[in-house]
Amino acid sequence: MTDAHPTTIADTRSALLDRKVSAVDITRASLAAIDRLNPSLNAATQVFHDAALQRAAQLDARIADRRAAPLPLLGATIALKDNICLDSAYGDARTTCASRTLEHYRSPFTASAVQRLIDAGAIIVAKTNLDEFAMGSSTEHSIFGPTRNPFDRTRVCGGSSGGSACAVAAGMAAAALGSDTGGSIRQPAGWCNLFALKPTYGRVSRYGLVAYASSLDQIGPFARCVADTALLTSAICGHDPADSTSAGLPSPDLTSDLDRPIDKLVLGVPRQARSAANHPAVTAALDAAIKTFSHLGAVVIDIDLPHAEHGIAAYYIIATAEASSNLARFDGIRYGHRAELAPSDDLFDLYARSRAEGLGPEVQRRIMLGTHVLSSGYYDAYYNTALKARRLIKRDFDDAFAGTARAASRPSHACHAVLMPTSPGPAFALGERSSDPMSMYLEDIYTVGVNLAGLPAITIPAGFHRDGASNLPIGLQLIGPALAEGELTRIARMFELATSHSSIRPALA
């Protein structure tokens, strides 16, 4: 196929300002790619043909008026995960969360992060598929059906932001936004050969993101290169008075010294990253990345994150507890699908039937688990214990960044970042784990700790695994201390320049 987005966002912006191409042309190419590829990949849930072209025409008029200041994301086509609100005036958009209970919901406002992209010159072309209410690791739990991996359409593309990852990998959009509660940006990016950044908790406003677990959720970008990732992250960060958890900090400029390598770089590799459960290709990619960073002059040390083994248990207690509270509003009265009732039914029947009909099995499972761990007699045993484990997991990371983590080598060093896999294996086959929730949950074993600790992390393309005719991407992640998005993007850029993994695109007919 002819790629609709062969250049970076900065290159596209330069071409637009030089009048070598128009925003309408770029948008038409993006929409054509969606129309051609989406029937087989199922990445987009809504496509905004008219609204996107209208927006592009407005940008072309702005470019023609040379008095207007150039915008940093001028002409960038963006896809949005369908749990991020977009005003219904924009192409009569809906925010469905891939759930029957919200399949007709039209938001009266646009999420703050999205509005910042629009204000910076971006063009929203589509909403993308996800696991219902962002609860999943494969984008199979959706009323729209599963999204397929563009590198192998018999396999999943990860979740819950699988549609966003697929759209960018397949060239449907220049970039996309997703949400990351326990790895839902980083994991699908790894399986679709993309860069993706989960910012520090509070860096990006959650206003307009439909809540799954409020103390864990963060919006972040998918892109094909580090420069685009840095540019998008800079655009969406910053304080927002509409979000009480928003950090009172200005938006960082992650692009100013992106190409300046970090002197005396120190990376920590946890012993837990070499689990026996890892696929050999993941271990090989990790070893190769260590070798690459060592050749770049980095000091790579072994560290211990002793409480990492409790991450999955703590995450699936805390996240489901918060979900049981957040999703209580979808009761068929205030929000969501309302069931048809018989004359003899009462209010309880309305609640029970509306939620049973509107919410899928995985969402129901997590709500019931969350309600259980918060119930009288179990609160201390489960929820409070999970909060204690969360604090210890954060302390382990803090020790690594301070140079006080237990290490196999001495003397100990303060790490600039922690290097580890995003997933224990490459993408698995569609339907392979649908009947085994625990095996699905374990796909998040390397990602949930970042959310529990509120830290930033970036996925980097790190290699491929050949399986028959398929070439399956392998992703690694770099985890940094709070507010270290600048250092993380610079480290990722060092790796990007030293390798060719990110240049490989899926072969799409």
H helices, E strands: number in the chain: 15, 13
Domain locations along the chain = 9-263+454-503
Residue 475: what pLDDT? Answer: 98
Active site residue 127: no
Q: Which residues, listed in sequence order, are joined to residue 81 by a DSSP beta bridge?
A: 128
Sheet holding 175-180, edge to edge: 44-47, 123-128, 77-81, 175-180, 218-223, 195-198, 457-467, 470-479, 417-421, 266-270, 299-303
Q: Distance (Å, rounded) from C-alpha 80 to C-alpha 130?
A: 10
Q: Cis peptide before 502, with omega less than 30 degrees from 0? A: no
CB 271 within 8 A of CB 304: yes
For residue 458, give the nearest of 498, 412, 422, 405 by alpha carbon.
Answer: 422
End-to-end CA distance of the chain: 6
- Amino acid of residue 289: A
Q: Which residues, listed in sequence order, are joined to residue 466 by a DSSP beta bridge?
A: 471
CA atoms within 13 A on the CB side of 252: 19
CB 132 within 8 A of CB 45: no
Which stretches does DSSP call E strand in 247-294?
266-270
Give me the catalytic one of 160, 161, 164, 354.
Answer: 160
Give me the catalytic one of 107, 184, 246, 502.
Answer: 184
For residue 366, give the nearest of 158, 135, 185, 179 by alpha carbon.
Answer: 135
Structure tokens at 422: 């995003």
- DSSP label at residue 210: P
Indicate the pairing of strand 195-198 with strand 266-270.
unpaired
Active site residue 388: no
- DSSP label at residue 384: I
Give me the catalytic one of 81, 142, 234, 246.
Answer: 81
- DSSP label at residue 265: -
- DSSP label at residue 225: S
Question: Which backbone phi and psi does 183 adopt, to 5 degrees?
Answer: 130, 10
> pLDDT truncated to tens, each residue of the chain (509 aa)?
345 544 899 999 999 999 999 999 999 999 999 999 999 999 999 999 999 999 999 999 999 998 888 999 999 999 999 999 999 878 889 999 999 999 999 999 999 999 999 999 999 999 999 999 999 999 999 999 999 999 999 999 999 999 999 999 999 999 999 999 999 999 999 999 999 999 999 999 999 999 999 999 999 999 999 999 999 999 999 999 999 999 999 999 999 999 999 999 999 999 999 999 999 999 999 999 999 999 999 999 999 999 999 999 999 999 999 999 999 999 999 888 999 988 888 999 999 999 999 999 999 999 999 999 999 889 999 999 999 999 999 999 999 999 876 554 444 679 999 999 999 999 999 999 988 999 999 999 999 999 999 999 999 999 999 999 899 999 999 999 999 999 999 999 999 999 999 999 999 86
Active site residue 81: yes
Q: Distance (Å, rounded) from C-alpha 454 to C-alpha 397?
A: 10
The three-point CA angle 213-483-488 to 5° equals 105
Q: Which residues, listed in sequence order, are joined to residue 477 by a DSSP beta bridge?
A: 420, 459
What Å distances lie between residue 99 and 96, 132, 364, 371, CA to CA?
6, 5, 12, 20
Longest distance between any two alpha carbons in the chain, whole Å: 75
DSSP per-residue letters across 89-156: TTTS----TT-GGGTT---SS--HHHHHHHHTT-EEEEEE--SGGG--SSS-S-TT-PPEETTEEEEE
The three-point CA angle 285-134-356 to 5° equals 140
9-263+454-503: CATH superfamily: Amidase signature (AS) domain (3.90.1300.10)
The angle that helices 280-295 and 485-498 make with each other, rounded to 10 degrees, is 90
